[in-house]
Amino acid sequence: MSNRLDHASTSPDGYKALGVAHAYIQHCGLPKTLIDLVYLRVSQLNGCAYCIDLHSRDLLKLGVSVDKLVLVPVWHEAGAVFSARERTALAWAETVTRVAETGVPDDAYAAAAAEFGDKELVDLTYAISLMNAVNRLGVTFRMTPAAAKAAEQSAAR
């Protein structure tokens, strides 16, 4: 897998703007693990290999078990592996990411609003929106996952 274009160096001001949004989300008050679970699920839905690799590694560093990590794609079938708050965030992430299909129905909004306060819900939606934007860059410009880079380097030896 090779990059088509290095978007960060080609348009550094645009990249920095996304970085400002990312920095805000990291300090908005939502738990880092929750944010990274949402980032991972959004990236899975969008098929962004770079971000799936990155956020899986981030979650492992945060102490999330492999058992939990591998069940993110099927979180709704994993029962108590995910907390009620995590399940609500993952459901909201799926609904917002698939906005063209779902239209973000009132019942989905009501469920998310029942679990998260107003600011939390807006910040969670910012996180989902940011990851959708980053995924589009990752997929479009074929950002290479760390695992693929390591495999290429190993094969070259």
Other Cβ atoms closer than 10 A to 108:
17
Q: Give the whole-number percent of the chain exceeding pLDDT 90.
A: 82
Task: Please give the span between the terminal C-alpha atoms of the chain, in angstroms, as a whole number.
Answer: 18
- Which two tokens mark 143? 């950002």
Domains contained in the chain, number: 1
Its pTM stands at 0.92
Position 15 in a domain: no
User: For the stretch 27-66, what's the b/e string if a residue is b when 16 or more beta carbons lie within 10 angstroms of its beta carbon?
Assistant: eeebeebbbbbbbbbbbbbbebbbbbbbbbebbeeeebee
Kindly report the CATH number assigned to the domain that includes residue 75.
1.20.1290.10
Position 109 in a domain: yes
- Domain of 142 in residue numbering reads as 32-148
Position 112 in a domain: yes
pLDDT tens across 65-101, in order? 999 999 999 999 999 999 999 999 999 999 999 999 9
Provide Rg for the chain, Cα atoms.
16
pLDDT tens across 7-47, in order? 888 999 999 999 999 999 999 999 999 999 999 999 999 99
Other Cβ atoms closer than 10 A to 154:
8
